[in-house]
A and B are shown apart, each in its own frame.
Chain A
Amino acid sequence: KQEVTQIPAALSVPEGENLVLNCSFTDSAIYNLQWFRQDPGKGLTSLLLIQSSQREQTSGRLNASLDKSSGRSTLYIAASQPGDSATYLCAVRLTTDSWGKLQFGAGTQVVVTP
């Protein structure tokens, strides 16, 4: 059974620091991994999708890396801002799951202080 873990569960940094969020998964037979952002009481906003054949994906201040063999992905957010405060979730899709089900980690709650 696939287990997706996000550590730490919570993180507080001063504005301007770089954020490093970790995601690990136990089954390396994945199609892809997707990072989301969730603001309190809101839905999920897709940040980055990284395919299993890719090592890295970038969008603006965001960079996601993927090491499928070791079951790890890292989301880097450069020069954090108070507006980056949110919960960040990673999710994987298994190649053995024909439904395209996303299996989620529990998330990392980020607070960026001014």
Chain B
Amino acid sequence: SQTIHQWPATLVQPVGSPLSLECTVEGTSNPNLYWYRQAAGRGLQLLFYSVGIGQISSEVPQNLSASRPQDRQFILSSKKLLLSDSGFYLCAWSYRENTEAFFGQGTRLTVV
């Protein structure tokens, strides 16, 4: 069966520090991978999408970037965090663009 792992579960970082969140999927190959952010009062917003290694699409301009160095690995990064980057970050995968999506357990990021 397929599983998705995200780490760390929680993170407190100072403003201006770098960020690296990792997501890996097991039990499938060539998945579509997604990063979403859930901010209080704003619902879930798609940040990045990837259909394959090295292929990244950004939904909204922001202080974040994403990379996919391996087929089942998706990384969310920032060079310098802002207070507004605080939120709950969720990684997700699906077989294709119109199939069921499965989410990880999320990372709670607090920028102080």
Contact = CB atoms under 8 A, between A and B. Distances in A.
B96 A100 contact: yes
Contacts of B57: 99
B26 interface: no
A41 interface: yes
Contacts of A42: 105-106
A49 interface: yes
Contacts of A34: 100-101
Sort chain B's interface into a size bin.
Answer: 20 to 34
Interface in A27-65: 31-32, 34, 36, 41-46, 49
Interface residues of A, number: 24
A104 B39 CA distance: 13
B52 to A, nearest CB: 13
B98 interface: yes
A99 B59 CA distance: 9
B106 A43 contact: yes
The prevalent SS among residues of B at the interface is strand
B104 interface: yes
A100 B97 contact: yes
A100 B90 contact: no
Contacts of B90: 43-44
Nearest to B10: A41
B109 to A, nearest CB: 13
B32 interface: yes
A34 B97 CA distance: 13
The 6 tightest CB contacts between A and B, nearest first, are A100-B97, A31-B98, A44-B103, A43-B105, A104-B44, A49-B100
Interface of A: 31-32, 34, 36, 41-46, 49, 89, 91, 93, 97-102, 104-107
